[in-house]
Structure 1
Amino acid sequence: MDNKCWICGKQELMMFTCRHCGKTFCSDHRLPERHACEGLDRNAGYSSGTSGNYNRSNTGGQAYGPEMDDVIKNMMKDAARTAAKGAATGAVHRTRSSISTSPSMAIIFICIISFFLELIPGYVDFFQLVPNTIFLKPWTLITHMFLHASFGHILFNMLVLFFFGRELERRIGKDMFLYVYFISGVVAALGYALTSSVSYPMVGASGAIMGVFATLTILAPDMQVYVYFIPMKIKYALLLFVLLDFALIGAPDMIAHTAHLSGVLVGLYMGIRIRNTRKQRRRAEYDPRRW
């Protein structure tokens, strides 16, 4: 049974079903006159207990005929438009709020916008990282993180960032998250540039995201994650990714495995520092010598 009010869509602990029209309503719309009940003309003689009978012969009121059907239809259309408008407005508000309060969501938004801007000729060439021009175009150490080579590339990266980036934000704060993310991305770019024997350009946020993933692994090693729908602890997932990257270094798959590994190293280092700092703070807080 639908547990939403047929008029306003509100849900309450106790919902009411009209015995005339059979629809479900909240406490505000449970009375027939509050929901323009179309079943009253078929069930004349109904009494609400306070307003008398709803039929022409007993009350002199207007019967519910074809004209009322049009009124009801218009009422339902207005209610549907209002609900749709409210849902759309709420979605926009929630999106804006997420972008303004979550660095991960802001990065996802920028990456999506940048993915469409890549259709502009010359856009990618200006912002992608090329190892032999890294000192001529130093901004590419940052901008390459917002570019992606394909829809599958950006989809996978943004899904990982959506789930694990926001979790890391919650644990270490927004400022520290941004520090981990961008340091991991820059070091990943430098690691790729220093170890690459060819000058293939590099795009993508994978190095930065691997840094986020590694930091979260240090802070919550037993967190349950799913890798290709297989449940495992995050520490085993990270180990699997690292082993795959090591095994595929030098493979002709157009993936910057050394960038991934460089990001992991930064993430592990940052995670250990954050964990040790927290331990020192806890010891200092409970040090009896303070008293």
Structure 2
Amino acid sequence: MAKCDVCGKDESMPYNCRHCGGTYCGEHRLPENHDCTGLQNWNDPNGVFDSGFDDSVNGGGSKSKASSLTDKLPINTGTGGPLAYFRGNMTYLFLAIMWVTMGAQLIAYSVGGMGLHNYLFTLSSDNPGHVWTWVTSIFAHSPFFVPGGSIFHIVFNSIVIFFFGPLVERYTGSRDFAILFVVSGVLAGLGQLAADAVFGNPLVGTSVLGASGAALAILGVVTVLNPDLRVYLFFVIEMPIKYIAIGTAVISALLIVISSPGAGGIAHGAHLVGLLVGLAYGEYLKRTKNIRAPNQLQMGPGGPGGPGGPGGRRRF
């Protein structure tokens, strides 16, 4: 059950507005019926031209900078072009890239051992100038096919991104979501190297893999937009999402200071940086776009899954 933000009516099948993020009954679900704040931020109130991918719609018939740039690309970037499927589905594209990258890691390891694997996918303090690893390390994860590796690394990150990514993508648009994901991942990885340089053992090299920083940035955005959103920690313990964010920040900070940024083989420095990036960006969204997340998460029609997203409705 959820309450309508306008009349307070209890609804077993509530509607979540894709523009402002509010929760409404059938009577107030239309934007014009709940004085939707999201409509004032764009010039296409009926959503006819909004792609969520390139922000190219503007008023007065003039082209924006984004539009002029996409017009120069050798492919059709319009709503009927090959990129149309990824609009509103960037979360699932990144999840697919993560799992495909795991396959590429296996191939690299099979061909050239850990040397080739690390050269291509691992962000390391020994070779910070390998700038491609700033990005590839985001999508790569602990290789479960080597001794000491674990499949749970990529599984855990996939769960967080799967449930919270579509919600953030809805309010930021696919382009800005992609930027948030990659930038937070890069900053988290570099932040881990910096934390190890300051608090770690200078004689031991640091290596970073995984999308945990990006995943926690996504969680940080949701925390700011709706700190009282109730979720299940480990699918068992129900609590507001703000406590998960606070607990993650406190534990990461304490372990960095009293132990090491990589204590237990976990990149606590990356976790902390990613979360802080998400909290900052969430505050920016809250102040500039006046949006907030719904008081429950739904997947499927009407939920943050969006076109091509998973079917069914889940509440947690």
CA distance, structure 1, for counterparts of residue 278 and residue 87 of structure 2? 25
Once the two structures are TM-superposed, the CA of residue 98 in structure 1 deviates from its matched residue by 7.0
1:261 partner amino acid: L
Greater C-alpha Rg: 1
Once the two structures are TM-superposed, the CA of residue 97 in structure 1 deviates from its matched residue by 9.0
Is 1:144 the counterpart of 2:137? The answer is yes
Aligned residue runs from structure 1 range 54-133, under 5 A: 101-120=88-107, 121=109, 122-133=116-127
Q: Larger relative contact order (C-alpha < 8 A, sep ≥ 6)?
A: 2
The 8 Å contact of residues 138 and 211 in structure 2, kept in 1 or not, is answered as yes
Report the equivalent of 1:225.
231
Aligned residue runs from structure 1 range 187-266, under 5 A: 187-196=187-196, 197=200, 198-228=204-234, 229-249=236-256, 250=260, 252-266=263-277
Report the equivalent of 1:153.
153
The 8 Å contact of residues 193 and 206 in structure 2, kept in 1 or not, is answered as no
| Runs of at least 5 residues in structure 1 that lack an aligned partner in the other structure | 1-95, 281-291
Once the two structures are TM-superposed, the CA of residue 278 in structure 1 deviates from its matched residue by 1.5
Report the equivalent of 1:3.
none
**Change over 3 Å in CA distance of 1:236–1:98 after alignment to 2:** farther
The 8 Å contact of residues 248 and 272 in structure 2, kept in 1 or not, is answered as no
SS at match of 2:239: strand
Is 1:273 the counterpart of 2:273? The answer is no
**Change over 3 Å in CA distance of 1:252–1:235 after alignment to 2:** closer
SS at match of 1:148: coil
CA distance, structure 2, for counterparts of residue 97 and residue 231 of structure 1? 37
SS at match of 1:221: coil
**Change over 3 Å in CA distance of 1:208–1:142 after alignment to 2:** same
SS at match of 1:226: strand
Report the equivalent of 1:60.
none
Structure 1 residue ranges, 4+ long, deviating more than 3 angstroms after superposition: 96-101
The 8 Å contact of residues 215 and 268 in structure 1, kept in 2 or not, is answered as yes
Percent pairwise identity: 34
RMSD value, Cα: 2.1
CA distance, structure 2, for counterparts of residue 279 and residue 155 of structure 1? 33
| Runs of at least 5 residues in structure 2 that lack an aligned partner in the other structure | 1-82, 110-115, 143-149, 292-316
Q: Which has the higher helix share?
A: 1
Once the two structures are TM-superposed, the CA of residue 171 in structure 1 deviates from its matched residue by 2.3
TM-score (norm 1): 0.59
Q: How many correspondences in the alignment?
A: 184
